[in-house]
């Protein structure tokens, strides 16, 4: 199947080429999919896109006009795709429903430990031959209450790790996981989770129901000094409100792998350009905010998993035009 992969980087192309092994006619572009770049797909049956690409209604109409019939997402999340429009246009869309939930869960833990134990600050001091320990005090994770919002594959993987640290695990979800019982995860209301957790970690998808799931009302209930970790999607948090509650000390620490306005910023080289996003600049100015640029998925195991499933979706479509990972609009 002739496929154009948008938003390809040097880190993921080798995995896709290896999984493809010459089977499909794969072409690559570093450009993100947008209304300006949709015409690059002219003559391609399929496109493959990542989470920062724009698959909104107008872009899909343009892709369809150019003959694209299949969209292979290289992500779990599909909040960036207008599924209703895709299906109305007769396009098939498939995601990668699972690829190493450990990659994302472990990154969330890495961020938590890095911020709590002041590792970046410590490294800077060591670089200056300053071996004093002032200002480097952290806290034990052992015995703390961890609140998981979204107890799916990543939420459960994160819970297991935190259980290993000796934490009490509580969770909130719209449907309960059978695995939660083995971990001793106790389901509670969102309000209880907010008021009792020392650490809150977000692992739900972005949807109309979860947009600003953590906003002004929720921040008001958060336990003073709690840490908030977001490796899900930026818009699950109202960033403006969050900044207010960082400033007043409600939030003791914030770890963000995703950011509400990351589109166009993350995954790109901004070294020689001025970032005009004041919200992002303000977030970066806080010592107790740690940001990574949507890299939680970046392990060899996850990249291999993404590539294998993407190629499997394309192969299924080329054989019988159906893939087990096809998304329907009622999801
Ligand atoms: P999953 O489908 O296994 O789990 C999601 C869980 O969220 C489910 O249990 C679901 O019931 C729950 N949920 C849905 N709506 C909810 C709501 N309104 N309130 C509370 N819980 C709700 O998905 P997963 O594989 O664990 O991935 C979770 C999310 O992580 C993805 O949707 C994606 O946005 C994000 N993600 C981020 C990265 C990254 O690199 N930062 C990588 C992969 C996935």
For every residue of 222-244, DSSP letters joined together read SPTTEEEEE-S-GGGB-HHHHHH
The closest residue, in CA terms, to atom 32 on ligand 1 is 205
The closest residue, in CA terms, to atom 44 on ligand 1 is 76
> Given this model, what pLDDT does residue 161 score?
98
Would you tell me how many other CB atoms lie within 10 Å of the CB of residue 233? 24
The Cα-based distances of 100 to 152, 157, 221, 329 in angstroms read 13, 10, 33, 25
The DSSP call for residue 90 is: T
Average pLDDT over residues 221-249: 98
* 270, 247 Cβ separation under 8 angstroms: no
* 203, 151 Cβ separation under 8 angstroms: yes
Average pLDDT over residues 197-216: 97
Q: Is the pLDDT of residue 80 over 80?
A: yes
Q: What is the pLDDT of residues 16-48, one digit of tens each?
A: 999 999 999 999 999 999 999 999 999 999 999
> Given this model, what pLDDT does residue 331 score?
52
Q: Is the pLDDT of residue 330 over 80?
A: no
Structure-block tokens of residue 148: 């998981």
Alpha helix positions (H), the chain: 13-20, 57-65, 83-88, 101-116, 119-127, 153-164, 180-183, 190-196, 216-221, 239-247, 278-285, 300-320
- 311, 326, 324: which is closest to 81 by C-alpha? 326
Average pLDDT over residues 7-13: 96
- 188, 194, 230: which is closest to 180 by C-alpha? 188
The closest residue, in CA terms, to atom 31 on ligand 1 is 205
The closest residue, in CA terms, to atom 42 on ligand 1 is 297
Average pLDDT over residues 113-141: 97
Average pLDDT over residues 116-145: 97
CA 107 to ligand 1 centroid distance, Å: 15
- 117 catalytic, yes or no? no
> Given this model, what pLDDT does residue 329 score?
61
Q: Is the pLDDT of residue 162 over 60?
A: yes
Q: Classify 104 as helix, strand or coil.
A: helix
* 24, 311 Cβ separation under 8 angstroms: yes
> Given this model, what pLDDT does residue 64 score?
97
**Is there an atom of ligand 1 within 6 Å of 331 CB?**
no
> Given this model, what pLDDT does residue 323 score?
86
Q: How much of the chain, in percent, has pLDDT values that exceed 90?
A: 96
User: What rounded mean pLDDT belongs to the chain?
Assistant: 96
- 262 catalytic, yes or no? yes
**Is there an atom of ligand 1 within 6 Å of 257 CB?**
yes
Q: What is the pLDDT of residues 269-299, one digit of tens each?
A: 999 999 999 999 999 999 999 999 999 999 9
CA distance 98 to 102: 10
> Given this model, what pLDDT does residue 94 score?
97
Catalytic-role residue among 233, 282, 301, 304: 233
Within 8 A by CB and 6+ apart from 118, the residues are: 135, 136, 137, 138
**Is there an atom of ligand 1 within 6 Å of 68 CB?**
no
């Amino acid at each position: 199947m002739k496929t154009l992969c948008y938003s390809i980087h040097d880190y993921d192309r080798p995995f896709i080429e290896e999984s493809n092994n010459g089977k499909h006619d794969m072409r690559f572009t570093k450009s993100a999919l947008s209304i300006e770049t949709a015409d690059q797909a002219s003559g391609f049956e399929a496109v493959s896109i990542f989470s920062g690409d724009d698959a909104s209604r107008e872009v899909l109409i343009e892709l369809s006009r150019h003959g694209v019939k299949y969209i292979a997402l290289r992500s779990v999340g599909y909040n960036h795709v207008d599924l209703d429009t895709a299906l109305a246009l007769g396009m098939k869309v498939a995601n990668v429903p699972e690829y190493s939930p450990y990659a994302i869960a472990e990154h969330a833990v890495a961020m938590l430990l890095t911020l709590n134990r002041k590792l970046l600050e410590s490294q800077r001091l060591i670089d200056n031959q300053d071996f004093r320990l002032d200002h480097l005090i952290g806290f034990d994770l052992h015995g703390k209450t961890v609140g998981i919002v979204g107890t799916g594959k990543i939420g459960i993987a994160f819970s297991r790790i935190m259980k290993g640290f000796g934490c009490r695990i509580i969770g909130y979800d719209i449907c309960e996981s059978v695995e939660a019982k083995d971990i001793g995860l106790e389901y509670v209301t969102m309000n209880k989770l907010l008021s009792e957790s020392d650490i809150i970690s977000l692992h739900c998808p972005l949807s109309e129901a979860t947009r600003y799931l953590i906003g002004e009302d929720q921040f008001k209930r958060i336990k003073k000094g709690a840490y908030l970790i977001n490796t899900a999607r930026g818009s699950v948090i109202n960033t403006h409100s969050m900044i207010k509650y960082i400033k007043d000390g409600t939030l003791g620490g914030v770890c963000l792998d995703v950011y509400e306005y990351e589109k166009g910023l993350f995954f790109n080289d901004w070294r020689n350009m001025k970032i005009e996003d004041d919200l992002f600049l303000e977030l970066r100015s806080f010592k107790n905010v740690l940001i990574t640029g949507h890299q939680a998925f970046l392990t060899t195991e996850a990249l291999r998993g993404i590539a294998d499933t993407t190629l499997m979706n394309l192969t299924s479509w080329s054989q019988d035009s159906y893939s087990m990972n096809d998304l329907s609009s009622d999801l």
